[in-house]
Structures are given as C-alpha cells and as structure tokens.
Amino acid sequence: MKSTIKVMTVVGARPNLMKAAPLAHAIEKYNDFGNYSTSIAHTVVHTGQHYDKNMSDSFFETLGIRAPDFYLGVGSGSHGHQIGRTMIEFEKVLLEQNPDWLVLLGDVNATAACSIIAKKYLFKVAHIEAGLRSNDWSMPEEINRIVTDRISDLLFTPCRFADANLEAEGIPRERIRRVGNIMIDTLEANREKAGRMDVTEVIARNLVEHGEGGGPVNPPVLSGRDFVLLTMHRPSNVDRADVLKSLLEVIVRISRRYPLIFPVHPRTRGKISEFGLWSAISGEESLIITQPLGYLEFLCLNMYARVMMTDSGGLQEEACMLGTPCLILRDNTERPVTLVENGGTNRLVSNEPEKVIEGFEWAVEFPREERRPELWDGHTAERIVESLVEASFL
Ligand code: UD1
C-alpha cells in the first residue's frame, strides 16, 4: 500500500519563489516516477508579503509553479505587522492542513514567523538555505535565519561554511544535510532561454520614463558586456537619506563611464521619492532606470553584464555561478563562498563611495569565468526530496 507524506511549503517574498519552484518540480517528478511506495501531497502557502505582479505573480508564470493553495494576504507594513499577521493567518491553515513537514525557504519574515508557529504546535520543520550567517544583527534577515535554524528539525545547507556555522552554534550534526544551492537549480533550468533574450529589448520593455522618476526616454543601444547592472534595496543602503544620496551620486559617476541599468525595487523607489532624490539621477543619459524585472529578463542581463553591483543575497550567488564580477554594497556577506578569496567572483565594497569606485576599477578588469561551488549542480531539490522522504520514516 502506498503511504502519503504531506509537505507544506511557505513563500512570502520574491527571493522565495526561485527556491520554491525546483522543490515543487522535484516533488512532481518524485510522484510521477511511480516506483516508490510513498507519494508526496504538496501544498503551497503564499503569505502575500510581496504582491505586485512583477514581484510575485510573474515568477509563478515564468517558473511554472502552480498558483498557491492558500494566500494569506499579509501585504506590506512594519515587521510587527508582517510577522504578526503571518502568524495569525498561518496558524489557521497549518492546523487545518496538518502537514507532516513544513518546508521554509531563505530568511524573509515569512520564514521566521511560520517556523515559530509550527514548532509551537510540534510540527516538523525543514529549512532550506540553512546556516548562512552575516554575523550582522542589524539585518532583519540574520534574526530570521537564526531563529528558524535554531528550531528546525532538518537543516538543508548550501555550502561548507553553512555547515560550520551550524555546528559552531551547537546544532546536532544529524540534523544537517548539505545539499547544495536550490536557487541554482532554477538558474540551470533557465539560463539557455535567458541567454537567447535581447538586452536592448529587455530594457525597452521595462523602461521607467521621466515622468515616473527619471531615466532617459531613449536608452542607448547596448551590446556585448558594455553595461553595468545595479540593484539595491537593503535598509542599510536605502533607508537613510544621506547614505542613499551618496550611493546615487556614485552610480551617476559610474554610469558616465559605462551605461548602467538600475531596476528599482519598490522599497528603493519609495525611499528615493520620500527623500526627494529623483533629481540626483534623472536626466542622466546612460543611467537606465527600469521597473523590477522578470526572472528570465534579469538572468539575461546578469549573463551579459560587465559588472554587477548589488546588496542582494541571491544575486551574489547567481553572479558567482555565471562568472559576473560582482561588487557587494555591504560590509559583510552571509555567502562567503561567493567571494573572490574563496574562489568566487564577488568582492565586498561597503556603501562608501571611494571603496565602491575602487572596487569598480577592479571589477571592469576581472575576467568573466564561471565558478561552481561544490554541489551547485542543478540537482539540489531532488536531494532535498529524497532526504525529506527518508527522514519521514526515521
Ligand atoms: C524583503 C525581505 C528581504 C529580501 C527582499 C527581496 C524581509 C525581512 N525582507 O525585503 O530579505 O531581500 O524582500 O525583495 O523579509 N512593496 C511593494 N510591492 C510589493 C512588495 C513590497 O510596493 O510587492 C514595497 C512596499 O512599500 C513595502 C516595501 O516595498 O513596504 C518593502 O517591502 P518588504 O516586503 O517589507 O521588504 P523588502 O525590502 O522587499
């Protein structure tokens, strides 16, 4: 007789979706295989932390994930609002559905909120992307990671640094499974398609025109690797007017040397408006401002960019895999495996203007060459599914 394992996955924000997709596909594959005495019943809960089409729905479409089974509609707001409402709404779904495993991804507010609720009711929790540590307690994500790791039953790690962090914190070894980086499964599945896209068309489709806050109406035609790609949204870079202003000034300086494409995150857009800083960047010929891009569109730009500048976590990893020299606009990273000194393509430059410029001089000369940390092979989700099934019968 076939037994069924009930697995529930939670997504909340954009970076969860690139990780949820391969897991959903690997579960479908496991069920379709037909040889097993076990099947997996999979449900997906979306907390609704990200809700714009281009922050959420477009990723479901592009990555072929079916619509969530439950949508909690938490929306934007303070940490208290997001975490509190997620807990209240998630508790109802969790108790009604009664899964064997709750699978949580990454380090967003949904991850921490749902892990706490699940453990209070003694559900089994598995955390994908466990063990990352920036050791920077000013990052909301660091708190989310530590809380979730501390109470998870299974910790799926992407690299040896993550294993070492967990062991140093006293997490029992038998809970840790090094499986590789699940987001790279999505990259491997999509890179060919993204590589066939045209950079100039991607920009034209997503351009934000003057009226909406700057950027040339007719961007330059781009070819080859002759552009820089920038994203930033971390509170440490955008929540203070003086810091954001000096970063925008550096961006303008760099864009005068190489066309610079800047897909603006909603949080950053809000802060630029709040601080009255659009005038610092609008009208710059080669500073190309776009709305947040779709998954394939951004991957395409990452594949062809000469230099990436970012404060994102996932983009550090994607840049490393693709070989794009990448400047991290932070003082620390929870992803040291992507750093140049550890065989990657990333360099920490902070948000200080002179350090960014110095890093830029290094990056433009850095040869593009793919780097692949151990187990970042496109098969992480399959290893996770096998491991979940195995652990279900322990
Ligand atoms: C969240 C994650 C962060 C991740 C980032 C990726 C936490 C603590 N932070 O940060 O780790 O790197 O997502 O994007 O979970 N907004 C919209 N539309 C949306 C979503 C947000 O306009 O669909 C605006 C709202 O004004 C909102 C602001 O963006 O207040 C910030 O969104 P929020 O979800 O609070 O945090 P992020 O900065 O996106």
pLDDT at site 313? 97
274 lines ligand 1 (CB under 6 A): no
pLDDT at site 211? 46
pLDDT at site 328? 98
pLDDT at residue 219 above 70? Answer: no
Of all residues in the chain, what percent carry a pLDDT higher than 90? 89
Of all residues in the chain, what percent carry a pLDDT higher than 70? 95
Average pLDDT, integer, range 316-326: 98
Compute the distance from residue 149 Cα to the ligand 1 centre, in Å.
22
Give, using CA atoms, the residue closest to atom 34 of ligand 1. Answer: 49
pLDDT at residue 263 above 80? Answer: yes
73 lines ligand 1 (CB under 6 A): no
* pLDDT tens, residue by residue, 190-215: 999 999 999 989 998 998 865 455 55
Give, using CA atoms, the residue closest to atom 3 of ligand 1. Answer: 108
Compute the distance from residue 13 Cα to the ligand 1 centre, in Å.
7
235 lines ligand 1 (CB under 6 A): no
pLDDT at site 214? 52
Q: What is the pTM of this model?
A: 0.96
> Which has more pLDDT, 161 or 286?
161
pLDDT at residue 364 above 90? Answer: yes
* Residue 373 structure tokens: 């940390």
233 lines ligand 1 (CB under 6 A): yes
| Band (16; pLDDT cuts 50, 70, 90) | very high
Known catalytic residues are 233
Average pLDDT, integer, range 111-129: 98
Compute the distance from residue 341 Cα to the ligand 1 centre, in Å.
31
Average pLDDT, integer, range 270-286: 90
Compute the distance from residue 383 Cα to the ligand 1 centre, in Å.
30
Give, using CA atoms, the residue closest to atom 35 of ligand 1. Answer: 76
pLDDT at site 74? 97
108 lines ligand 1 (CB under 6 A): yes
The answer to whether 329 touches 310, Cβ cutoff 8 Å, is yes
| Band (360; pLDDT cuts 50, 70, 90) | very high
Burial of 56 (0-12, 13-18, 19+ CB in 10 A): buried
Give, using CA atoms, the residue closest to atom 21 of ligand 1. Answer: 50
